[in-house]
Amino acid sequence: MRTRGRSWAVTTVARRQVVQEPRRFYDGGTLATSDGPGEPPDPGADPRIVLERHSEEGVETFALARRLAYLDRHLGELLVPSRADFRTDLTSVPALFTWLVPKTGAHLPAALLHDALVAGRHDPPAYVSTDGHDVDRVEADRVFRDAMADTGTGVVRRWIVWTAVTVATIFVGRAVPWSRVRHWSYRVAAAATIASIVYLGYSATSDLVDRSWAGAAQLPWMGDRPWWAELLGGLCGAVVVPMALSLLWGRLRMAGAIAGVALAVLLHVTLGLAVVAAAYLALEALARRAPGLAWSLAAVVVAGALAGFARLSLG
């Protein structure tokens, strides 16, 4: 049995709040080895996440020493992994956003499940569907969202994470149940949304700081108003405009709305974190390649800070 015709479930389930059922996760036993047939799943036992750390070309990955079992509402029993060489990086989230979605936490079992469901393009499947389902990428994203609900992950976090994996599916996803035309329509809609929000954020910031930046547009919800009114107008625009742009996403408009609002509201925070992260990486590289220069730079910064502190404090 295959799930290619089940894309309707994504829209249907998106409209219904999933009730938490923690017992849907349970111990999946172990894989068969040359030493024996392995252990079968045990629906009465709590899931046991036993990770073995690997470092491959400087990249940290983990192998699962025990299988994880999940009883999905539509697909039945799913067991991961299905092969001993499966590797995961836990929750696949860029370092800039680990403050919002950490690498581990309540959502970890769902993240491990999702990683196995969407394993590499040329690799054999990393999951076993007891009922014989072939899980496509869109269905895997839906399973991820439902599974996060069953682990007790907060509503806001799980919808944000589902949106992130949905955007990844749109741009790099394979084994999707869409025609080529529909897939590209989603890509164009997502790219247009991101580009529009970045440009409008740039223009709004130009208006907020009362500067005429090159190419910035005059936004009617900003205008020549007190700073607090412009800030409030910018926040309103960060909600209304992405909601309107999400209509371009068709059946994925929920993901479009969440992605757009999150990007618009967190745009400046993300840019700030990116600058801090880039500075940190630059300092690490400098300290590794030229430690003497790094210490000299540190001394200059400390001396400058002391001089500035004294001047501003003592007059």
Question: What is the gyration radius of the CA atoms in the chain, in angstroms?
Answer: 24
**Residues composing the chain:** 315
Of residues 6 and 273, more confidently modeled: 273
Would you place residue 315 in the very low, low, confident or very high pLDDT band (cuts 50, 70, 90)? low
Determine if the peptide bond prior to 41 is cis (ω within 30°).
Answer: no
- Indicate the pTM of the whole model: 0.85
Of residues 233 and 92, more confidently modeled: 233
Q: How far apart are CA 115 and CA 109, in angstroms?
A: 10
Write out the two tokens for 115: 């990683």
Predicted pLDDT of residue 124: 80
**Which of 37, 121, 44, 113 shows the shortest CA–CA distance to 79?**
113
Lowest mean pLDDT, pick from 21-30, 96-105, 253-262, 300-309: 96-105
Of residues 234 and 100, more confidently modeled: 234
Would you place residue 264 in the very low, low, confident or very high pLDDT band (cuts 50, 70, 90)? very high
Own/partner long-range contacts of 185-192 (Cβ < 8 Å, ≥24 apart): 185/250, 186/249, 186/250, 186/252, 189/245, 189/248, 189/249, 189/250, 189/256, 190/249, 190/256, 190/259, 192/245, 192/248
Contact 232, 222 (CB under 8 A): no
Judged by DSSP in three states, 207 sits in helix
Q: How far apart are CA 248 and CA 36, in angstroms?
A: 53
The single-letter DSSP state of residue 16 is: S
Predicted pLDDT of residue 16: 59
Report the pLDDT averaged over residues 49-72.
92
Predicted pLDDT of residue 215: 94
**Which of 234, 178, 176 shows the shortest CA–CA distance to 208?**
234
Directed axis angle between helix 227-245 and helix 180-208, to 10°? Answer: 170
Q: How far apart are CA 235 and CA 174, in angstroms?
A: 36
Contact 47, 24 (CB under 8 A): no
Q: How far apart are CA 269 and CA 263, in angstroms?
A: 10
Q: How far apart are CA 202 and CA 143, in angstroms?
A: 36
Q: How far apart are CA 91 and CA 104, in angstroms?
A: 6
Of residues 57 and 291, more confidently modeled: 291
Predicted pLDDT of residue 18: 87
The percentage of residues in the chain with a pLDDT greater than 90, rounded to a whole number, is 75
Contact 49, 79 (CB under 8 A): no
Predicted pLDDT of residue 120: 67
Containing H/E element for 263?
Answer: helix 253-289
Predicted pLDDT of residue 115: 94
Lowest mean pLDDT, pick from 47-56, 141-150, 236-245, 253-262: 47-56
Q: How far apart are CA 105 and CA 49, in angstroms?
A: 12
Q: How far apart are CA 163 and CA 30, in angstroms?
A: 32
AA letter at 44: G
Would you place residue 306 in the very low, low, confident or very high pLDDT band (cuts 50, 70, 90)? very high
The percentage of residues in the chain with a pLDDT greater than 70, rounded to a whole number, is 94
Structure confidence by residue, pLDDT tens digits, 202-253: 999 999 998 889 999 999 999 889 999 999 999 999 999 999 999 999 999 9
Containing H/E element for 229?
Answer: helix 227-245
Of residues 12 and 131, more confidently modeled: 131
Torsion of CA 122, 140, 75, 21, to 10 degrees: 140
CB atoms closer than 10 angstroms to residue 209? 10
Report the pLDDT averaged over residues 89-108.
86
Q: What percent of the chain is helix, strand and coil (3-state, nearest 5)?
A: 55, 10, 35
